[in-house]
């Protein structure tokens, strides 16, 4: 459903992404894992249409042109950016309303907000609160709920567990697994490789802008080269956990 070939992204003279190939099939959770600076955010932003790139990105067989985020969103690609991107000085409810601005079916979209409140009762309890007053985990829920309100076909998640307490991080990974059960397609960018490889179907390991390993998530989790390169070489122990 999404196909990336020879993706390159430059920041001035710096080639942050150096020829990445990826495939995401409908209903899959595909993970991009790698250390800080590997090029994960740059890749997911290129797919969302937020950055110029070279190479090809196609979605349902049609090419996506660079820097076309609004069109990509309407086509069904919704990004939850690193750092969540919610507006802290606006209420929880107003942040959710931002999620439906691209919808033409406003009545149904309002009903979807009601469904989000059922799915995330904490957001309903805090609907009038300023979003900045929510905990980090609640803000992540809000960011995901807002993205889901565009009724995406592919959810692009950039480090959803970043900065969350372990318990909240588990809740976020559980939510991603639930979304998959509902049939959502997910591209999940994460540094927490071990937890990520448990929920993902397939994964790509990035290092300095290149894919150095890819395959079934279970196979990558068991791959000694992956654990030495990235997971710290001790199965069951996650760096920084
Ligand atoms: N706006 C920017 N300007 C210049 N260099 C950047 C910019 N954003 C990211 N980079 C560089 O691009 C590389 C990849 O960054 P990024 O995609 O954010 O990695 P990751 O998300 O895997 O941590 C890093 O070397 C980073 O320093
Ligand atoms: Mg990043």
Question: What's the pLDDT score for residue 185?
Answer: 98
Question: What's the pLDDT score for residue 85?
Answer: 93
Question: What is the overall mean pLDDT for the chain?
Answer: 92
The residues with which 130 forms a beta bridge, in sequence order, are 91
Q: How many whole angstroms from 129 Cα to the centroid of ligand 1?
A: 33
- Please name which of 55, 47, 96, 92 lies closest in space to residue 73, comparing C-alpha atoms: 47
50-108 tens-digit pLDDT: 999 999 999 999 999 998 999 999 999 999 999 999 999 999 999 999 999 889 999 99
The three-class DSSP label of residue 93 is helix
The whole-model pTM stands at 0.93
DSSP letters, 55-103, are EEEEETTEEPPSS-HHHHHHTTEEEE-TT----TTSBHHHHHHHTTTT-
The residues with which 215 forms a beta bridge, in sequence order, are 203
User: Which CATH number among 3.50.50.60, 3.10.20.30, 3.40.50.300, 3.40.640.10 corresponds to the domain 1-76+152-159+181-235?
Assistant: 3.40.50.300
The three-class DSSP label of residue 231 is helix
Q: How many whole angstroms from 181 Cα to the centroid of ligand 2?
A: 26
Q: Report domain extents, the chain.
A: 1-76+152-159+181-235, 78-149
Q: Residue 231 and residue 197: Cα distance in Å, rounded?
A: 11
184-237 tens-digit pLDDT: 999 999 999 889 999 999 999 999 999 999 999 999 999 876 776 565 544 444
Q: How many CB atoms are closer than 10 A to CB 132? A: 11
37 lines ligand 1 (CB under 6 A): yes
Closest atom of ligand 1 to CA, residue 45: 17
If one residue of 15, 41, 156, 192 were mutated to test the ligand 1 pocket, choosing by the most ligand atoms within 8 A of its CB, it would be: 41
Q: Tell me: pLDDT of 241 over 80.
A: no
Q: Tokens 């992204």 correspond to what residue?
A: 9
- Please name which of 48, 36, 30, 11 lies closest in space to residue 208, comparing C-alpha atoms: 36
CA distances (Å), origin 110, targets 87, 97, 131, 175, 196: 20, 8, 19, 22, 32
């Amino acid at each position: 459903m999404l196909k990336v070939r020879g993706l390159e992204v430059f920041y001035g003279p710096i080639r942050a992404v150096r020829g990445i190939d990826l495939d995401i099939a409908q209903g899959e959770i595909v993970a991009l894992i790698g250390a800080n600076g590997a090029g994960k955010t740059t890749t997911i932003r290129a797919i969302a249409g937020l950055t110029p790139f070279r190479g090809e990105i196609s979605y349902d067989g049609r090419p996506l042109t660079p820097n076309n985020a609004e069109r990509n969103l309407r086509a069904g690609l919704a990004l939850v950016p690193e750092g969540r991107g919610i507006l802290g000085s606006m209420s929880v409810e107003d942040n959710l309303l931002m999620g439906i601005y691209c919808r033409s079916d406003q009545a149904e979209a309002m009903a979807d907000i009601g469904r989000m409140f059922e799915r995330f009762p904490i957001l309903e309890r805090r609907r009038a609160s300023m979003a900045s007053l929510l905990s980090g985990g609640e803000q992540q829920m809000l960011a995901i709920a807002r993205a889901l309100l565009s009724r995406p076909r592919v959810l692009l998640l950039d480090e959803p567990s970043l900065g969350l307490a372990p318990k909240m991080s588990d809740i976020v990974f559980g939510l991603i697994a639930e979304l998959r059960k509902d049939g959502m397609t997910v591209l999940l960018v994460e540094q927490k490789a071990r937890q990520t490889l448990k929920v993902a179907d397939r994964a790509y390991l990035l290092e300095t802008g290149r894919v150095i390993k890819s395959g079934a998530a279970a196979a990558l989790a068991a791959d000694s080269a992956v654990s030495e390169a990235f997971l710290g070489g001790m199965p069951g122990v996650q760096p920084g956990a």
